[in-house]
Every structure is written in C-alpha cells, then in structure tokens.
Structure 1
Amino acid sequence: MSLTIQDLDAFIETAIQRFSCGAGEINSEFYVNLRSEGRQRITQSYVDSCIALCNSRGIKAERNNDGLNIYVNLERCALNPNQAKMFNVAVSLARANGTFF
C-alpha cells in the first residue's frame, strides 16, 4: 500500500467522528500495513517517505514491523477546510453534551 493524502484525510475524518461520538478524545491511533497489495520488500526509504507524508500534515507515524502506527492529534494536525468545519461542529456537539471543555 502506498500511503496517500487521501488516506491521511480518512484518518483525520475518522478521528473527528470518534471525537464527536466519544468522550471528547482528541487522539486517535491507526495502523497501516505497508506489505499490502503484494509489496515484497519494505525499504527504509519507503518507510521514511510515508512518515514524511504524515509529518507534512502534522500527523505522527512510527514504524511497527511491516507497517506504521499512525497517531492523529486533532489539536495539532493540519485540517483541510471541510475537516475544519467538521471539527468545529464536533466540538460544539461535545461542548453541548458536556464531554469537552
């Protein structure tokens, strides 16, 4: 699997959904298997490029065997305009429910 900006958007949007449905938790964790789609070898260069892509959006990534652990912190990651609107609504709902202050 080649990690894409669309994947990062999906992680951020899922984190926003988790935030709005949960107890106001701003951190979410994900796992990406870098061997999917038949990739035979995972080079350090490939791992570094995936981590750099994550870092470009303020998302932390660490290698975990044949994959990456992805950590999304909604207070630190770079949101696109739609995600910013989604997060604003989620924060409003969490505040109304008393789960985020």
Structure 2
Amino acid sequence: MKLIVDTTGKQVTATKEPVERLDQNGRQRSDKETGRLMWSTQVFVLDQDGGEVITVHTAGEKPDVKVGQLVAVSDLEALPWATNGRNGVSFRATAIKPVQVPASGK
C-alpha cells in the first residue's frame, strides 16, 4: 500500500540544496528498481495547522531548486520504517521542481 501525501494547499519551500543520498559506505545510493541515482532535498511544508521540515528523496536528475525557493513536490509518498528499535517516516517523490511565481504587474 502506498501512503501518498496530498500537498494541495500547502506551501513547500526548499531549505537546503539537494545533496547525494549516501549509503553506509559513503557512496551515492541508486534506486533499486531503476538504478537511477538518489538525491535528498530538505523542504519546509507549511499549511493552516503549522509547518514541518522534512527530507524528500528523489531518483534521477539532481533537482534544480535553490534555498528559499517555492517548490512543487510530485507524488509525495510517506514510507514508515523500523530498524533496530528505531522508527520513523521517510519521504520519497518522483520530482521536486521550482514553482513558477507569476510576475506582479504594477
């Protein structure tokens, strides 16, 4: 079962530049299904209830986003995990792209 997170009505802002997602040996991870390289991008998600910082993993091309830029996250999936008595939620998306903000006509 996939747990897809609806980002409609949420403001998502990049808070760190995308970085390589590394394995325990310091090598860049690749997607198990496609072999594409993995990236980690930290974002701040804000809605009417408040905000939260999460790290979103993507596979393929390095996301072309900058710190402070509004971004769109495509197909955001929450992935609960548990290992060695620890647990949490990781997030994966098919893409993270800059949001095109319309120019104000003054």
**In which range does the TM-score fall when normalised by the shorter chain?**
under 0.3
TM-score normalised per structure 1: 0.23
Higher relative contact order (CA 8 A, sep 6+): 1
Would you tell me which structure has more helix in proportion to its own residues?
1
TM-score normalised per structure 2: 0.23
